[in-house]
Each structure stands twice: as C-alpha cells, then as structure tokens.
Structure 1
Amino acid sequence: MAESVLYPSDTTQEPSQPKDRIRRFVWKIAIATLLLMAVGSATRVMNAGLACPDWPLCYGQLVPSQQMNLQVFLEWFHRLDAALIGLSAIALSGLSWWYRRSLPNWLPWASTFALGLIIFQGVLGGLTVTQLLRFDIVTAHLGCALLFFNTMLVIGTALMPYQATGAVGKLPWVGLTAAIIVYVQSLLGGLVGSQWALHQCFGGYQLCAVMNSHIAGVVPATLATLAIVFMAWRTPALHPTLRGLANLAGGLVVLQIILGVATFWLHLQVEVLTVSHQAVGAALLGTLVAFTVLALRDRANASEINSIIPDAAAAS
C-alpha cells in the first residue's frame, strides 16, 4: 500500500493510447519543423527568398513547372513544407480537444497556442515576400519558427514517461536561463543574416555593431550551456536522460562555435556551413528546452513524492 503511494501516477501507469499517439505525432512535427528551418536558411543563403515573386502561389501556380530551377524549387518546397506543418498543427489541435478527457488538462490549450503560432508564422511568411524580405519581418519569421519548434518540444517532452530522481537541484533554472540566452542569440544571428551584416561590415564597415553583438553573444550562451554540463557532471544521481541531454548540449555548443568561426572566416561563401550553423543553433536551443522541461518535471515529481512519504508513513 505504501509503495504504491510513493510514486505519482503519471510515472507508473502506461500512457493512454491517445496520449501516446499525440506524443509521437508531436515529435514528428518537431523534426519536420527543424528541417523546415534548415530549408528556410538554405533559401536565404541561396538568394531564393524572392524566387517566387507572389504569395501564396508561385508564379500563380501550385507547382511552377515551367519556371522551376534550384532557387524556385527551394522557395516552393519551403512553402510546401510549411503548409504541411500547418495542416499538422490543425490536426494536433483538433485531436487534443477531441481526446481532452483522456489527456492532461493543459494539452488542448498548448496545442491551440501552437496553432496560433503557426498561423502567425504563415502571415509573416507572406509578408517576407510582399515586403521584399524586410529584415525585421525575416527576423520575426525566424523567431516565431523557433517558438513553434520549442513549443512542440515542450509538449513532446512533457508527455514522455519519466521517473523522477530528485537530484536536479538548481539545474531547471540554469537550463531555463541558458535556453533564453540561446534564443536571443539565435535572433541576433537571424538579424545578422537578414541584413547581410557580415558582408556589409567587411565591405563598407556598416552594420558592424549588429555583427559584433552576435559575436559577443557567443560568450554568455556558451558559458550558460557549459554550466549545465559541469553541474550535470557534479550530480552523480542525475537521471540518465538529463545527463545525456546535458552532454548533447555541450557537444552542440562546441560544434556551433566551430561552424560559426568557419562561417565568419569564409565570409558566408560556403552555403552548407551557413545552413548547418543555423540548424545546429536550433538543435542546441531545442536540447536546452527539452532538458529544462525534464528537469522541471523531475523537481515537481520529487516534491510530490516527498510530500506523500510522510502521509504514507503515518497511514501505515
């Protein structure tokens, strides 16, 4: 009797079928969104942002077969992928409300928030074309995409089966701080890319402040991420999943620095490096978000267990 009380029900029972299916669906949407951001980055660095001069169609067609080349294909495929993710977000919201009685109370609202983000993202996508790639709209487009991506990660991670160890300490707050810093750094990177600040600075010493702010932002983002890795190493009882995410974040931040230095010295001339730099940055942010959500769950579940133990002992 006492043993069954010691663990919260969400860690001992098998997830319901709707919850399990929605979790898998959410992870697929998250992966598709990461790929979409990579394609969007490729579209920008290949100067294909206006390859389709109209919106939402491309040359007034669903499939511009006669005008198709690499640049047109990148822009057209980016829109196609975005449309599919939008339809997936609609399906996710519908399923969450339909099965709401067998799902956590917060899930329908979270999925509705995600749907709102993807609708706003579509509006921003249209404005990037009609406003001829205005830098603030392009940066907001990236920022909204990152928010949607991380919303999917929050939902997916929150629905994962997870057994608390109660050994997280201050890691949830350090993880949250690191995630916020990396998100701001990603926006600065988007601002550098949307204004072509690196080329402007090297060519005519313009927009150097924008570029330098992104370079300076590497320091707090790196230190915050490495603090998680260090604290994870100093916590022997840390859950293996959290330890793995901390190590992954450490590896990604090192890779991101290498890609950033290479991109800087090669003046954005190697498109693969530039696209990889943004994709790894998004993956790093997603890893920190997933780490933070699991660490918060660990802390909350451990607190619940600790509050139950005295009651169970008194009952026995």
Structure 2
Amino acid sequence: MSTLRRRLGLLSAHLVVAVIALVVIGGATRVMEAGLACPDWPLCFGSFLPGRQMNVQVFLEWFHRLDAFVVGVALVVMAVTTMVRRRQLPSWLPWLAAGLMILVAMQGGLGALTVTHLLPSDVVTAHLALALTLVALLSGLTQRLLHPAAVAAPLWWRISALLGLLSVFSQCLLGGRLATSWAGQRCLAGGEACHLVLSHRVTAMPVAVVLLVFAGAALLAGGWARRQWPWLAGVVLLVLTQVALGVLTLRLGLSQPAVTVAHQLVAALLIALMAALLVRSPAGRPSPSLSVVLDDTSLEACHG
C-alpha cells in the first residue's frame, strides 16, 4: 500500500468520526431546541465566535457549524489531492472525492435553509439524510483505501449487507421525520401524529431481524465470513443497544435528551458499520512464486 493511499485512508477514517459527531451534535441541537440559537448564517450573531451571547444552546449550534466547516475543508483537500495525484491512485477515487465535496456543499446549503426558513421538517430531514449518506460513503471509502482487496466478497454477503444498510438508513429517515416534526411529543401530549410513532416502532423489529439474520448467516457460513466475527458482534451489540434505547426513550416520555441523542448516535454507528461491511472483501492471495529452471546451455552462455 502506498503512503499516499494510507494517508487518504486515515483522513477518511477521521472524517467518518467527524461526520458521526456532526450527526450527534445536530441531534443534541434539536432536542435542546437550539436550532435557531444562532439567528443568522453562516456567522452567529454577526461574528465567528459569539462571546456575549454564548450559552449551552448557542454553543451547540455554533459548534455544529464549526464541525461542518472542518469536514468541508477536509473534503476539499481530499478532492484536490486525489485530482493532482490521480496517476498514483485508483481511477474511481478522484470522482468519488469530487462527489463527496459536492455533497458536503449541498449539506451546507441545507444547513443554511434550516436557519433561514425556521427549521422546516422536510429540510431538516433532508439535512439528516445527506449527513448519513456522507457517513456511509466515507466509511466504505475508508475500507477500500486501508484494506484493498483483489477478491470480491460472496454475492450473498454483498446483497445481505446492502439490504441491512438500506433498512437502517430508511429507519433513520423515519426516525428523523418523527423527530423533526416533534411527533413523539405531540403524540404523548395530545394524541396527534401518533401514526409516525407507530410506524417507527413497527418497522424497528423487521430492521433488527434483517441485521441479526445477516450476522447469524455469516457466522454459520464459515470461512472468510465467519472470520469477520468482531464486526458482526459489533452489529449485534449495536442492534440490541438501539432496541433498548428506543424502548427507554418512549418509557421516559422523551424527557431525557441524553437517551434520545444516544439513540441517534447508535443509528449513525450502525450506518458506518454496515457500509464498511458492504465493501469489505477477502484479501487477495499472493500468487505462488515460479521456480526458474536454467539448463546447462544457458548457464554456460552466461558464464562465457
């Protein structure tokens, strides 16, 4: 593996963490009702660092924007680097890096709309969807850069992992729609929008079953799939944690912001893990060394 590829892989890995943090901070901003704590955009109260107005809500919104800015700069650096050094990298990498740069620019635009249009539910949900898309793409990119493989994973593995990833992604969007429209609070307070809460609860178990079946099938298949047991154990642990957090959130009547934010954190981690498993492949086997047989004639010619 080249030094450049390894460095880009490490940058991508750090960006996965940064974007997951962005999702979590965005969730904390929502549950703390701090989405409009900074009334203007891209500055906050007309300055880069609002000193006088700083409180918990303003800090959450300000730090959310700061994290997004750092992610954007890092993706621009990645795109420029892959374009300049494209001859030393896979042909698909500059295109993917450029696509990621465009996505983060769109994410910034949606972030601006959430403030200027006073947190419309559709825009906030799209903002979350794009953030989770970045998590999935960066997680898969990290795997491809740090663990290149010449052998494709079994077809059943790729189909099952893709189905699991899409299931989690859809469930996250449904949860995001529920959260951004405050359906949980409205349902508990006055019986409004309870259909969204019910839909989220009903679809949670099938999604959990899809992920658990994938992990179980991989362990039963043996071979390379079974050797991925640490990753599969992570999937099982996250699924069980997510189910427990979902039940706890409703039992507490959505009164504990920390539990709600943890629920969103586990969802983002599941997206990252399933995306990594989707592109993970067996390592290529080195070709056997070929023995060179020299006859006496060739040896004599060389000696002469």
TM-score (norm 2): 0.90
Residue 135 of structure 2, aligned match among 141, 149, 152: 149
> In 2 relative to 1, CA 166–276 (structure 1 residues): closer, same or farther, beyond 3 Å?
same
State the shift of 1:242 in Å: 2.7
Greater CA radius of gyration, 1 or 2? 2
> In 2 relative to 1, CA 92–165 (structure 1 residues): closer, same or farther, beyond 3 Å?
closer
Identity fraction in percent: 36
> In 2 relative to 1, CA 113–163 (structure 1 residues): closer, same or farther, beyond 3 Å?
closer
Q: Distance in 2 between matches of 1:292 and 1:129?
A: 35
Q: Distance in 2 between matches of 1:167 and 1:88?
A: 30
**How do 1:1-316 residues align onto structure 2 when only pairs under 5 Å count?**
15-161=1-147, 168=154, 170-239=156-225, 242-294=228-280, 297-298=281-282
State the shift of 1:205 in Å: 1.3
Contact kept? 1:139, 1:190, Cα under 8 Å: yes
Q: Distance in 2 between matches of 1:85 and 1:272?
A: 24
> In 2 relative to 1, CA 166–18 (structure 1 residues): closer, same or farther, beyond 3 Å?
closer
Q: Distance in 2 between matches of 1:49 and 1:167?
A: 42
State the shift of 1:98 in Å: 1.3
Gaps of 5+ in 2: 291-304
Q: What amino acid does structure 1 have at the position aligned with 2:17?
A: I
Q: Distance in 2 between matches of 1:264 and 1:164?
A: 46
Q: CA RMSD in A?
A: 1.9
How many aligned positions are there? 288
Q: What amino acid does structure 2 have at the position aligned with 1:194?
A: T
Structure 1 stretches of 4+ with a deviation exceeding 3 A read 162-169
Q: What amino acid does structure 1 have at the position aligned with 2:168?
A: V
Q: CA offsets per residue over residues 257-315 of structure 1, 9 Å max, x none?
A: 00111011112111111100001011011111111111xx34xx77xx8xx99xx9xxx
State the shift of 1:253 in Å: 0.4
Gaps of 5+ in 1: 1-14
TM-score (norm 1): 0.87
1:5 match: none
**Stretch deviating more after TM superposition (237-246 or 136-145):** 237-246
Q: In structure 2, the residue corresponding to 1:159 is in which secondary structure?
A: helix
Q: CA offsets per residue over residues 61-84 of structure 1, 9 Å max, x none?
A: 111101011100110111011111
